Structure 1
Amino acid sequence: MENMIPTRGEQMAALRRASMAAAPPILRGGFRPFFLGGAVWAVVALALWLCVLAGQITIPTAFDALAWHRHEMLFGFVGAVIAGFLLTAIPNWTGRLPIAGAPLASLFGLWLAGRQAVLFSAALGPAVAGLIDVGFYLVLAGVAAREVIEANNRNVPIVGMVLLFGIANGLDHFAAAGILIDPALPWQMAVALVTLLISLIGGRIVPSFTRNWLAKRGDTQGLPGQPSKLDLAAIGLTALALLAWIAAPSGWLPAALLTIASAAQLTRLARWKGWKTVRNPLVLILHIGYAWVPIGLALLAAAQLGAHLPQSAAVHALTAGAMGTMILAVMTRASLGHTGHELRAGPATSVIYLLVTVGAVLRVAAPLSAVDYRTGMEIAALCWLGSFLLFIFTYGPILFAPRLGERS
């Protein structure tokens, strides 16, 4: 009789199955609300920023306008996508059922409350806004930690990086309040952490998806191999270089480390044979997105040496380039794969990739005087808005609908 009593794990699994069955499709997986919400917020936040630049509105936030723009693109938009990816990847890592239904709705609601709290923090109060905003990352890290620790999974360091991202968020609130001595520290930490996440996770998925697609086509010559010591060295060098960048405003040492890290990342990328994937946009865009990592590191190195190159160009190579492109690459692929659709980039998806790539190139090129600054910035912004608007209209119906073959 004792063996018939369900264990705590079995009880939790039963509750999650019931929650998933009762939930609307949009709440049956973390990627659904967070990918869609992140894309919507990317459009809204950038549109508000453009209106601020045009002098049409004043944002009722305790942050200054530029600080709010940085905060919301990093901790709002990018943070939402990180949450969606993490909540979707954890079941694959652990074999546990995904968080869905009311718990997922509560987590998404906390993220959404954070966006509103920061936007209206002048009236709400910086302290309250900070508690709500940072609270989302503390809860997310706690949920993720519980899942991977109970499954004895190796991805605890990734959860730790999410917690550090939340700490950087909190420091940004201190900076907005004038408490932090170096207001650049929080956003530099955030850029470094997300770049490392791309390096770590991208280093798994880019060669894996490339290898699978090439093997499926019968191209088995020199397939991308499993992660090696070179990959670990590239990640370690990138972490060390970014730490030096944060610690030192300029100098030969961070420049040298950034240059070496860039070369290591470029070597790593070349081993994945991205040129063989030109016939498959879903795979090719992963290589294009990852290419922005060595480009961004190299530009940062040049800026550190006092070259005629603004640091903003280097930072946007990592943000608009690496983050923006990899985010759309992952969101489109995961949205198709996890809803039972064919892994194929239709015309709309190909246009999404084109727009985000053109936008990133122009955003980096404009401060370098490679194109007319104002024209380049305006077209870059329109391309960014267009790419995420097209994602919303193309993938929104997919994310709201049940998985193919599944009842609503």
Structure 2
Amino acid sequence: MFFAKAASGGIPRGLAESGPAVLSYGFRPFFLLAGIWAVLAMVMWVITLTTSFPAGGALGGVNWHAHEMVFGYTSAVLAGFMLTAIPNWTGRLPVSGLPLLALVLVWLAGRLALLAPDLAGLELSLVVDAAFLPALTVVAMREIVAGRNWKNLKILFGLLTLSTANIWFLASVYLGEDPSAAARLAVGAWVVLIAVVGGRIVPSFTRNWMSRHGNKKLPAPFGRFDQLSVVLLLVALMAWTVAPQGYATAALSCLAAAANFIRLVRWRGYSTTSEPIVLVLHVAYLFLVVGLVMIALSALQIVEYAAAMHVLLIGCVGGMTLAVMTRASLGHTGRPIRAGALATAAYVNVFLAAAIRPLVAVFPQHYYFIFSVSGLLWIFAFAAFTAAYLPILMSPRLSKRA
């Protein structure tokens, strides 16, 4: 049995009396599994490219790789973040213990089903995978509504969009159609979530760090310019989803890139170079800007489509999720919020992976070498995260607060 208790300060959190620590809070199992799967999925993709290993079976190796990077890894991070943030928003107890284990098993079932869909049949495997994001959406909606936390209902639109994109992707594969539009929708949804949520936490964490170090020039507060930046970003990514090529998409992407670059500069991240766990947030957001520029160049057929996709997915989404996982894991387990050597190495490797991957278009004769280097850097990044944070995520919180 799992028993919950309320923490001092009035906000009930966590599991106190029994049960493994890893099931006491959503971030623990899902961040751990995200790190492990980020490594395993990339290892299997590299093996698939270089041998006859049939990752994805009837799904197809390319589709399997795209799906597991866009939906598999990211959905675990999203679950960990949502199941940890919602109790803070609502003051309700977190989903934990057996209900949390059930969600974890649904996510794992999706990974196993798509890795070898021929075993259970392609149709059943697709249904198994498609179940997780809607289940997470229902849980999040129940908690937000029960806690009357109406202002955060908007986060459900992101979850619904990702659920729709995943079902669209799987249906496209099943029907023999191109799933790239569904992948763009999902990556776009992630980028908008980063712009919205990151637009709150990046300047907030930066302001806190700068205040502690006596810096009087603090990040600009959230205002109308931030709202304009997010709107321009949303419009540009919608255009990219529907029409990845064309002058309109290129122009909108350039406008969104310029606005979000100014937004980033206003957060004064260049003053945080001595603290990697803060700086990484700004670098990840910079890759959002670079990704938008790459979308514009791709829309004009100057660079390949995959270059823009990988810059956004590896540098922006991968970098920001890694930043959030490292920071939240420390804060919610009662540890000092500082990046150790392994975490810092993880940051550097994931950004190098994002920077190197587009070079395939410049040096196509070295495709396999460049891809292998980028893949290895991704593997090193998440292997470092997993090695550093496995004992933290598996162990009880250091203080009484859960």
Tell me which interval the TM-score lies in, with the shorter structure as reference length.
over 0.9
Letter in 1 for 2:36: V
Aligned counterpart, 1:297: 292
Aligned counterpart, 1:225: 220
The answer to whether structure 1 residue 287 and structure 2 residue 293 are counterparts is no
Aligned counterpart, 1:24: 20
2:77 aligns with one of 54, 74, 81: 81
1:171 aligns with one of 168, 171, 191: 168
Instruction: Give 1:342-357 correspondences, 5 Å limit.
Output: 342-357=336-351
Does structure 2 retain, via aligned residues, the 8 Å contact 1:274–1:287?
Answer: yes
3-state SS of paired residue (1:76): helix
* Alpha-carbon distance in 1 for matches of 2:300, 2:387: 44
* Alignment deviations for residues 250-277 of structure 1 (CA, whole Å, 9 cap, x no partner): 1111111111011111111010001000
The answer to whether structure 1 residue 142 and structure 2 residue 138 are counterparts is yes
Q: Which has the higher contact order (CA 8 A, sep 6+)?
A: 2
* Alignment deviations for residues 95-124 of structure 1 (CA, whole Å, 9 cap, x no partner): 112111111111111100111111121231
The answer to whether structure 1 residue 203 and structure 2 residue 199 are counterparts is yes
Does structure 1 retain, via aligned residues, the 8 Å contact 2:14–2:94?
Answer: no
1:248 aligns with one of 234, 238, 243: 243
1:33 aligns with one of 29, 34, 52: 29
Answer with 391-400 or 372-381: which moved more: 372-381
Letter in 1 for 2:286: A
The answer to whether structure 1 residue 55 and structure 2 residue 47 are counterparts is no
The answer to whether structure 1 residue 97 and structure 2 residue 130 are counterparts is no
Aligned counterpart, 2:382: 388
Cα distance change of structure 1 residues 157 and 213 upon mapping to structure 2, 3 Å threshold: same
Aligned counterpart, 1:212: 208
* Alpha-carbon distance in 2 for matches of 1:151, 1:407: 21
* Alpha-carbon distance in 2 for matches of 1:207, 1:367: 35
2:232 aligns with one of 233, 237, 240: 237
- Cα displacement (A) at 1:186: 1.3
Cα distance change of structure 1 residues 20 and 110 upon mapping to structure 2, 3 Å threshold: farther
3-state SS of paired residue (1:21): coil
The total of aligned residue pairs comes to 391
Cα distance change of structure 1 residues 345 and 126 upon mapping to structure 2, 3 Å threshold: same
Structure 2 portions without partners, runs of 5+: 1-5, 7-11
* Alpha-carbon distance in 2 for matches of 1:191, 1:396: 27
What percent of counterpart residues are identical? 40
* Alignment deviations for residues 46-74 of structure 1 (CA, whole Å, 9 cap, x no partner): 11111110024112532111011000111
Cα distance change of structure 1 residues 178 and 148 upon mapping to structure 2, 3 Å threshold: same
Does structure 1 retain, via aligned residues, the 8 Å contact 2:14–2:93?
Answer: no
Letter in 1 for 2:368: R
The answer to whether structure 1 residue 68 and structure 2 residue 58 are counterparts is no
The answer to whether structure 1 residue 126 and structure 2 residue 122 are counterparts is yes
1:398 aligns with one of 392, 395, 398: 392
Taking structure 2 as the reference length, the TM-score comes to: 0.93
Aligned counterpart, 2:317: 323
Letter in 1 for 2:157: G
2:261 aligns with one of 266, 277, 302: 266
Structure 1 portions without partners, runs of 5+: 1-9, 11-15
Aligned counterpart, 2:3: none
* Alpha-carbon distance in 1 for matches of 2:168, 2:54: 24
Letter in 2 for 1:167: T
Answer with 113-122 or 23-32: which moved more: 113-122
* Alpha-carbon distance in 1 for matches of 2:180, 2:377: 27
